[in-house]
Structure 1
Amino acid sequence: MSLRRGANINFFCAGKTVAHYTIDDLLYLMARLRDPQSGCPWDIKQDYASIAPSTLEEAYEVVDAIEKQDFVHLKEELGDLLFQVIFYSQLGKEEERFEFAGVVSDLVAKLIRRHPHVFPDGTLHSRIDNRHTLPTDVKARWEAIKQQERAEKGARGLLADVPLNLPSLSRAAKLQKRAASVGFDWEDVYGPIAKVREELLEVEAELDSGDTKALEEELGDLLFAVVNIARYQKIDPEQALRIANQKFEQRFHYIETHAERSLSETSITEMNRLWEQAKQH
């Protein structure tokens, strides 16, 4: 059976015909949604900035599904995230800036360029025996290539292209990792641990001073030092904090559901007792 490019395929499943759509169908759908005359009024009004918050939300929902091992919904969440790329690509096409095909082509070219140990001739179909290549060698080469790309783009300084709108914990880890790539790093994990102790003392000192602005700065330094411990141990600080948040939610929910009275009428002693019970559970 031959199919024209972009045609959807129909499957017969459980007595029903189920349409199987392609990426071309998705691109067509997006163009229809943005059609000035027959499209969706909401989609027509959107621009890059207005859908950016949704992009972040969809990315977090993908991560949430992975962390919950909710693979039933992971496919759906990945589709929602892909739709964000399709939406931006449609905006780019309308403004004659770029199209989805260009996004894909540039991505493939970049990945080929960054994986010379897989594509030795710099072409998609070139191959090499890679069984004895060490992951550490791959990582070092990857960072060197990325640094060269940053220089070619005119980035001023090693930290210049670290996105400002990353979550602060993630950006701190990225800044530290980038600096460590040229040797600006602690000798071992006990360096940042000592720094945490030092910053905690400075936080305590500012608590007594009453200077809120100075306290804010010292708290930032403390958090930055904690991130350094996580980064040194190859732990994602965002993920570590998400786990802590989830753990707090579960334990606090236990208190809510096991308290004999409303929480406003429950003593702190009783809440602490239930908290310890929650930890055991």
Structure 2
Amino acid sequence: MSTVGASLAIAFRELHHRPSAPLLLPNAWDHASAAALAAAGFPAVGTTSLGVAAAAGLPDGAGLTRAETLRLARRIGGGPFLLSVDIEGGFSDDPAEVADLAVELAEAGAVGVNLEDGRADGALTPPRLHAAKITTVKSAVPSLFVNARTDTHWLGGGRDAETASRLAAYQDAGADGVFVPGLTDPASIAAAVDATALPLNVLATPDGPSLTRLAELGVRRVSLGSLLFRLALGAAVNTAASLRANGVLPPTSSVPGYAAVQALASPGS
């Protein structure tokens, strides 16, 4: 990672340690969505593996979108925002291969990665193996922010003890932050905060605590995952279906105009 890249990585890290509020990290799935979020004033943008996979006609979480993920990072990395890339489980169980991907992403302009222990079959990666991935990535790209995700709650069961054990292992392995999707209960969120010295990331959900409450609980990063992609997909289908059913379009006052979307394109694209 270049000197400029390293300074951007430091800036991204500092966003996780602000005393005022958690980092709100929206997730994009292509150039236009990332550019629009940056234009709306978000200093950092993540990618959503579901959006990237679905746009390519592939399933999420199955380790099939390494090429698409890297292609998107090369397209949007180095833009006017700090980029964190969702790499599922690293697209390999070989820590060296995961580290090779991390190097390529850093060269593309990414300052962080999200690395999960959930598997496509609903199982969890053994904690030692996931910790080895984290350690190898940090050894290859020390400045890259590794957000180590555990799917203990995502898979159901509310396993606070296993969550705490995995968070401790990933912290010891060198992770910079930890992510527990599926947490909505304040008591479980507080338990996860207490289980680690690293900044905790949770997903924003309609039935979960507000940003203010999450800040009070000690959460340092709040992401949106695939929600924005799914909302956009739903809005597109609902608009077409509404026109078919009613013969007229619903109000579009909040829809960006052609020129506004055209302005999101990078020079020379």
Task: Output the TM-score relative to the length of structure 1.
Answer: 0.26
Query: Which structure's residues are more often helix, by fraction?
Result: 1
Query: Which structure's residues are more often strand, by fraction?
Result: 2
Higher relative contact order (CA 8 A, sep 6+): 2
Greater C-alpha radius of gyration: 1
Task: Output the TM-score relative to the length of structure 2.
Answer: 0.27
